[in-house]
Structure 1
């Protein structure tokens, strides 16, 4: 319910995912994002899935509840400002779009389209981004 920036997550590596309920590939990858957060979420890493549906939050909240997403925090930008900013920077062609951001707020990687975020490749990607434990 309150505005947030990357600075609010300083020191934490983020997997920032933009999604919408009308986007079939977005809907398909939500359980995997939830599983990744459940398995690897910590004070060093967080999955931040931002819903970009316009209007109120009834539909996205119902969708997440219906599919049993319980570990992800609920973030949304009904103005599409975040998506439009990412698109202007040439990082988004459509939805879903996912960005891996290090603890200093620097973009490490980005991809367009869905991925199997609960698989071994995703875990290795996050582990590589986190580097050795301090």
Structure 2
């Protein structure tokens, strides 16, 4: 036969081809693993339900437990977010001097009312100064069933990782006390988009 029939790949070429296929397979597996560990919304699939205003939710790149910051409850009692473990916690940092905070508070009150009797707690924490706490308390009294919580030293805003960029900032924690997502800026928390997010986190157990 002519020399053209000897076009079969030699052993060395076959060896390199096999190594190339193996390397590609390893690279593909590594890529999948990296994507699974760095995609912040993959574990809970929150991206599938975060629509409308809730599409602005930012999800953590790694599991982040709630800060151990001390806040103060309706009777002035010291509390930590860990005290609400077992419930989905919607932490909202707000102040009376913040117009978007004041505007969205009735929607948070509606959210709290819609989930009464379920393991969901809206914890709206005032960061007003001591001199303005009574004003903040009076404002919150108009937004039942929300209770009044405060952090006059604004520690919670800085203890979040990353720190809250401004007010309002809302952080959603699962029943395990781990952050699921956060939203900077005001939003309508009474609508179906917000409820879809809360229902999803609640269903995670």
Give the TM-score of the pair, scaled to structure 2.
Answer: 0.60
Map 1:1-134 to 2 at 5 A: 1-56=76-131, 57-65=133-141, 68-86=142-160, 89-131=161-203
Q: Report runs of 4+ in structure 1 exceeding 4 Å deviation.
A: none
Deviation at 1:20, TM superposition (A): 0.3
Match of 2:187, SS? coil
Larger relative strand fraction: 1
**Greater relative contact order: 1 or 2 (C-alpha under 8 angstroms, separation 6 or more)?**
1
2:71 paired residue number = none
- What is the CA RMSD across the aligned residues, in angstroms? 1.5
The 8 Å contact of residues 91 and 110 in structure 1, kept in 2 or not, is answered as no
More helix by share: 2
Aligned residue pairs: how many? 129
